[in-house]
Amino acid sequence: MRVFKGEVTALPPDKSISHRAALIGALSEGTTEITNFSGGFDNQSTLGVLKDAGIILRQEDVDGGYGRRIRRVVIESGGLWSFLPPSAPLMCNNSGSTMRMFAGILAAQPFASELIGDSSLMKRPMKRVADPLRQMGADVELSLAGTAPIRIKGTKELKPIEYRLPVPSAQVKSLVAFAALHADGESRIIESVRSRDHTEVMLGLESIEHEGERVIVVPGRKAVAAKPFYIPADPSAACFIVALGLLARGSEIIIRDVCLNPTRAAFLDILTDAGAGLTIENQRVIGGEMIGDILVQNHAGLEPLMILDPQVVAYIIDEIPMLAVLSAFASGRFELHNAAELRTKESDRIDALVVNLQRLGFDCEQYPDGFMVKGRRITPSGTVVIDSFDDHRIAMSFAIASKATGCPLDITDIDVVGVSFPNFFALLESLEA
């Protein structure tokens, strides 16, 4: 029987906040210092496109406490229009966050640019990027399929916009906000289902609740003052370690300094309501974000997880793969709806999860906006091949199940975990008692 115990102090810094801190630093006047920046491939892609667009920045390793080294990024910028015409297409690699959010900034720059990615990113839908930017006056061109490359002829004369998000998307909300910072007047972004709010928090934007909707107010052409940022541990990465502790009986793990923003940590409430042994300790606020420690203690089992509320789905969109696999292997039942957004991630995550769980013998069913899996204890006869679909969250979800339960799984393209969690396997080994 495998047991996992220990203290986790080397969880990856939050991807979402790292992306935004770098982009906001590039838009700010002065020197921005970002402490505990993510070293994952996606966040390095954001730094790469900023440098290729003329932004001066450097990275250095510093003492982060707990006997570890962390990364500090220093960005020098003159403000909203400090970018230079790139000499070649800007490579975003596999990072949809980089491509979508940086498009909002490029739309306001008085030059032409092009955003490209790897083979996976070039297949992902980008019409939701182009539509609001075109309404603001930028010339945006996509492929015939509505995907990258994104070719932008920017303009310093962007018009303010009142934009209602067609689907909950923090990336689209952020790209509109970044563009609107340059517009000649006040813009308003309206969301009926609230998505993660890091951009609003970090920029200090006003938000108004009106008739059941949330309105984010973005003042145009107002200088953004440089300030320091601290990046807490990524709750989406913490979800994998939480699942490890819950699947392996007798385990006890404490995860330090995790971002507990309510728009990011709802998976903890879902698991607690389902009977998981979770305790939050040492809560405090740093830079407007709630941070705390998560104590995981193995529990007898989970109650069925049926997630139907669109608001809850928006809050846990990145954690759904791990929650589904956890529920399956913990003998629970997982049912999800209102999650069509999962089909436009690094893979079609609905299909990827169902295909792989069916290979393991689970009873699954998929719907246009979700899926169902009936969990049970299983002991496959021989090694089962799991297809990662080149998706880091699919790969890690099944790797956790294999590690915690001893179920022999051969996961394809497993190195893709480096996109968000470079020290994933080393951390798992360190926790095995």
Residue 378 confidence class, pLDDT cut points 50, 70, 90: confident
Look at residue 380 in the predicted model and tell me its pLDDT.
73
How many whole angstroms separate alpha carbon 64 and alpha carbon 62?
Answer: 6
- Convert the pLDDT of each residue in 213-225 to its tens digit: 999 999 999 999 9
Look at residue 300 in the predicted model and tell me its pLDDT.
62
- Convert the pLDDT of each residue in 37-77 to its tens digit: 999 899 999 999 999 999 999 999 999 888 889 999 999 99
Share of the chain above pLDDT 70, in %: 99
Residue 152 φ/ψ, nearest 5 degrees:
-125, 130
Decide if 321 contacts 263 (C-beta within 8 A). Answer: no
- Convert the pLDDT of each residue in 144-192 to its tens digit: 999 999 999 999 999 999 999 999 999 999 999 999 999 999 999 999 9
Residues 116/118/120/122 CA torsion (nearest 10 deg): 20
Q: Which domains does the chain have, with CATH numbers?
A: 15-218 (3.65.10.10), 233-431 (3.65.10.10)
pLDDT above 80 (res 210): yes
Rounded to two decimals, what is the model's pTM? 0.91
| Chain mean pLDDT for the chain | 95
Look at residue 247 in the predicted model and tell me its pLDDT.
92
358 Cβ partners below 8 Å, 6+ apart? Answer: 364
pLDDT above 80 (res 258): yes
CA-based nearest residue to 15, from 420, 391, 390, 424: 420
Share of the chain above pLDDT 90, in %: 87
Look at residue 67 in the predicted model and tell me its pLDDT.
85
Look at residue 381 in the predicted model and tell me its pLDDT.
77
Decide if 267 contacts 316 (C-beta within 8 A). Answer: yes
How many whole angstroms separate alpha carbon 35 and alpha carbon 21?
Answer: 10
Look at residue 1 in the predicted model and tell me its pLDDT.
62
pLDDT above 80 (res 377): no
The stretch 264-270 carries a mean pLDDT of: 96
Residue 299 confidence class, pLDDT cut points 50, 70, 90: low
Look at residue 304 in the predicted model and tell me its pLDDT.
87
Structure tokens belonging to residue 360: 């393991």
CA-based nearest residue to 27, from 157, 148, 165, 202: 202
- Convert the pLDDT of each residue in 302-355 to its tens digit: 888 889 899 999 999 999 999 999 999 987 789 999 999 999 999 999 999 999
The residues carrying an active-site annotation are 318
How many whole angstroms separate alpha carbon 169 and alpha carbon 56?
Answer: 29
Decide if 61 contacts 70 (C-beta within 8 A). Answer: yes
Task: Please state, in angstroms and as integers, the Cα–Cα distance from residue 282 to each residue in 80, 259, 353, following that order.
Answer: 37, 12, 35
